[in-house]
Structure 1
């Protein structure tokens, strides 16, 4: 992580006339949260609508922070403390990350997509770790605040950094890409997430394609070739980067020739290797994420013969196809971190076709940020569930009731349950589970369906 004197930090963020008795104070790492302070941190406060982080600057330093930034329009700066006055603390954080990035020899891989970017990040980092010192985005630090913090957390001898890039609107990924200066960029897919803000899948595709704006001129673009919107764009591409595709279709550079599922993961083969690969993660969609990661690893001269070792060591971020066990012996797939129609349908397909279970139950919640047609998207998910393969459907939330409405068009009434509170849902669900049951829990993050998972385990 960044280790610089306060004088050096001031120069990196453009404070040219910095003079202080604390100039030689050494900062080690950066934090924006007083609950996460470690000794030597630079604390960066933000002035928000409800709370002002400047009120905690003195507390942060008492807890071990070496120094802090202070926004100049906030009154009464504690000049007796090691602080740097800046016009805007967020911009200062971003500029510090930009300067630090330029000082590093690290190569970066940028990953975006409507679904699967976090899982693909985890897989890519695991494969690259076979040969290099690798760091990756932790948690969901993938936005205009999180990415600068991730960059500032890079060790100076890190060789490759795998960076997730998220967005809610146009221009955000452009900023992140130019900040990270990636050598490789990856687009996992174009789905329905952020339709509310971007209006159409075409708008989403254009926003995701901003990731190439910061790409090194001789870099590599890895994208899912099954997506027509990306195909159309790259047919006209005349830049200097190498193009590599992955996906289900045989027209891709890398595609699966065989996939089989079991409750401990997936086995698959690909078109350019005789080996069978074992992925300790469920879902055909995650096999495609693995293909993206394998393409990136191949670009960095990791052989397909060695990739099984990297795949076996994958450590996924929590609540992404996480396989758990309930107190009655039922198996639970906790995929409650996020949801869109595309990712939800993929998870349902996985459960429907997973062998070894007599009782298959879906617990589905609201899929958020889908725009004006959100009701129709939820109904279509419910209608698409196969009653011959799924035993029961539980829904939660205001929009979840539309999944139930769609499901009732194909299911008997007594196999569809709709709730607006979690506790009665848990109580009813517990009546139906046993050792021959597998339960999928899937919704957007705001629905907090991990509470249902916890209810099954208590």
Structure 2
């Protein structure tokens, strides 16, 4: 964080100082909520959770070097006490962002947010110091913590924004007002909570409504291939730039193809020129993500060649998102188990089909959460798609939703041993460990709550250590 004194912070957040001998002492280290991340000069944010109360760590974090706590009650060590810690954290982030002078890029969408955020960060880092959301910490706590990790040297701040209802993104954009706002897509993730795609579009579009006008430098980057996103152009006063495969897109891809290993390649066209891209990531769905990143980079002054080079060299920065491991015995494990929705599930299956040409393929799939009344139809459709893509074997893991996956595959023509429903992760590992053979490709994917990353991890370890159980 940029250096601020405890007195300044108290004034910004409307707090009272307690047990602080010298209010002029500055916070020079990171702002953290995890006591294990405290460094000398840190500000520790004490949240009182259901199971853990950060106030209980007051002595330990000060001993570890924290200058003070941001807390909701006095704790006997230096602290700034406020009525609401989360609101205070947001106010501090808003203050710091306004003082930074960095260009703030915010993005949202139903699928691909984290992968796209990672691409944008890697591309912009070629131009100037860049800070970005770690993993998918995109909520009311993670977003301000990320913003506060920026320093005086930061020139680009890339923030992922998630939403579980109307008004969430408006709140986040108020905490950290963006200059560039990117909307990737409107899908069916969390449709059970929102009630429909139109409501999802309403929520995601709050980002472009928060942008400055054209005259003040606001830029809305919108997906030309998604009608609900493209329609958001009417909801902003910012400049609109379109990306996609549509001929009307300002930043577009032509001659899209997949390499033999399933990595996307395409010709990148921008208003400033054209260049060739061959990505290190897996799956054609990353083309749209790459175009979104390219559109942002173009608006920030990078040439087509610079963007193409950066995209071609960018890797995956976040765990369990199309994370590919080649075992010594020739088996390939694709761990995409961080999360799942119908759009990302279809994209992962298509990537598996591309990677598995001439090889035996396995799709180990589990529940897609928060689909509401659409759950049965969407799980059935994914099971059917696995068959249409000629996936060698579908292993549906878990309860009712998994049975719908397997039933969809069965009804599409996957009979005999081509699809199977198993009760849990360990059963899936036991099955695969007994049947995998060199050259096989295994995709593992489900919503985060299912925990199928344990299957992928066990299979990776089994390739070098023999019998491995799910932990």
222-231 vs 402-411, which deviates more? Answer: 222-231
Q: State the shift of 1:19 in Å.
A: 8.9
Q: State the shift of 1:181 in Å.
A: 1.2
Q: State the shift of 1:405 in Å.
A: 1.0
Q: State the shift of 1:327 in Å.
A: 5.2
Which residue is equivalent to 1:109? 105
Does the residue aligned with 2:387 lie in a helix, a strand or coil? coil
Which residue is equivalent to 1:270? 268
Out of 383, 397, 409, the residue aligned to residue 407 of structure 1 is 409
Change in CA separation of 1:22 and 1:227 when aligned onto 2, cut-off 3 Å: same
**2:299 paired with 1:299:** yes
**Quick check: 1:112–1:208 contact (8 Å CA) kept in 2?**
yes
Question: Matched residues in 1 for 2:353 and 2:68: separation?
Answer: 54
Q: State the shift of 1:391 in Å.
A: 0.7
**2:7 paired with 1:11:** no
Question: Matched residues in 2 for 1:313 and 1:257: separation?
Answer: 19
Correspondences of 1:83-162 after superposition (within 5 Å) = 83-162=79-158
Question: Matched residues in 2 for 1:16 and 1:362: separation?
Answer: 55
**2:176 paired with 1:177:** no
Out of 423, 428, 431, the residue aligned to residue 431 of structure 2 is 428
Unaligned runs of 5+ in 2: 462-471
Q: Which runs of 4+ in 1 moved over 3 A?
A: 15-20, 270-274, 353-357
Which residue is equivalent to 1:260? 257
**Quick check: 1:321–1:333 contact (8 Å CA) kept in 2?**
yes
Deviation by residue 1:156-188 (Cα, 9 ceiling, x = unmatched): 121111111112122111111122111111111
Q: State the shift of 1:419 in Å.
A: 1.5
Unaligned runs of 5+ in 1: none
Deviation by residue 1:251-274 (Cα, 9 ceiling, x = unmatched): 322332212223262211134555
**2:443 paired with 1:440:** yes
Change in CA separation of 1:17 and 1:443 when aligned onto 2, cut-off 3 Å: closer
**Quick check: 1:178–1:215 contact (8 Å CA) kept in 2?**
no
TM-score using structure 2 length:
0.91
Does the residue aligned with 2:128 lie in a helix, a strand or coil? coil
Which residue is equivalent to 2:469? none
**Quick check: 2:211–2:237 contact (8 Å CA) kept in 1?**
no
Does the residue aligned with 1:414 lie in a helix, a strand or coil? coil
Which residue is equivalent to 1:319? 320
Q: State the shift of 1:308 in Å.
A: 2.8
257-266 vs 96-105, which deviates more? Answer: 257-266
Which residue is equivalent to 1:168? 164
62-71 vs 91-100, which deviates more? Answer: 62-71
445-454 vs 240-249, which deviates more? Answer: 240-249
TM-score using structure 1 length:
0.94
**Quick check: 1:353–1:389 contact (8 Å CA) kept in 2?**
no
Which residue is equivalent to 1:26? 26
Q: State the shift of 1:18 in Å.
A: 7.8
Deviation by residue 1:191-226 (Cα, 9 ceiling, x = unmatched): 111112110000001111111233222311111112
Which residue is equivalent to 2:349? 348
Which residue is equivalent to 1:457? 460
Question: Matched residues in 1 for 2:423 and 2:159: separation?
Answer: 37
**Quick check: 1:357–1:437 contact (8 Å CA) kept in 2?**
no
Q: State the shift of 1:231 in Å.
A: 3.0
* Aligned-pair Cα RMSD in Å: 1.9
**Quick check: 2:363–2:443 contact (8 Å CA) kept in 1?**
yes
Which residue is equivalent to 1:248? 245
**Quick check: 2:18–2:79 contact (8 Å CA) kept in 1?**
no
Q: State the shift of 1:3 in Å.
A: 2.1
Question: Matched residues in 1 for 2:115 and 2:353: separation?
Answer: 22
Change in CA separation of 1:30 and 1:389 when aligned onto 2, cut-off 3 Å: same
